[in-house]
């Protein structure tokens, strides 16, 4: 329908050139449909241009969430880049919607994750693999587990005082 409006508005300009259409007809049959049609096409185009950069940002945030989940679920303070990438690719595969992450993307995102979790990244001398060390995070998780174990579950209501 919009393509029809665009074509008819262009035909109205041709009719005005030949003298078959007056100025009022040119406004109502030429300019208004032309502006409507161009707006109809340019708004989605502009939204696509402005959201293009945001999509990459949101993609990196989603990868970051997957890496956080993988780090917290791996019960080891030290993990190699290959194992981290493989574990992140195996999480969420039940629904089949998760993409396979490349080691380059994981390494790029992990630069910020290591900083946020107060970890370290280094190259292992023995194996030659890129390693991540989250020893401090492991200690904090152990402390949290100890606090949860020491927590008293006070399910009693205590003394109930009723006033009227």
Going by their DSSP bridges, the two strands 78-80 and 120-123 should be labelled as unpaired
User: Is the distance from CB of 113 to CB of 64 less than 8 angstroms?
Assistant: yes
From first to last of the 164 residues of the chain, give the pLDDT tens digit.
677 877 888 888 778 777 777 888 777 787 888 888 888 889 999 998 888 888 889 999 999 999 999 998 887 889 999 999 999 888 766 566 788 899 999 999 999 999 998 889 999 888 888 899 998 888 888 898 899 888 877 677 777 777 76
The domain at 74-150 falls in which architecture? Orthogonal Bundle (1.10)
Cα–Cα distance measured from residue 111 to residue 130, given in angstroms and rounded to the nearest whole number: 12
């Amino acid at each position: 329908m919009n393509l029809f409006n665009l074509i008819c508005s262009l035909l109205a300009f041709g009719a005005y050139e030949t003298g078959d259409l007056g100025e009022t007809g040119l406004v109502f049959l030429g300019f208004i449909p032309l502006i409507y049609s161009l707006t109809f096409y340019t708004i989605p185009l502009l939204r696509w241009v402005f959201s293009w950069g945001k999509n990459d940002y949101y993609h990196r945030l989603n990868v970051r969430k997957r890496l956080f989940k993988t780090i917290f679920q791996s019960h080891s303070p030290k993990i190699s880049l290959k194992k981290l990438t493989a574990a992140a690719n195996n999480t969420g595969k039940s629904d089949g919607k998760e993409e396979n992450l490349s080691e380059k993307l994981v390494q790029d995102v992990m630069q910020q994750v290591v900083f946020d979790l107060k970890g370290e990244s280094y190259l292992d001398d023995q194996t030659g693999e890129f390693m991540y060390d989250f020893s401090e995070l492991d200690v904090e998780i152990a402390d949290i587990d100890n606090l949860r174990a020491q927590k008293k579950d006070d399910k009693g209501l205590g003394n109930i005082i009723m006033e009227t």
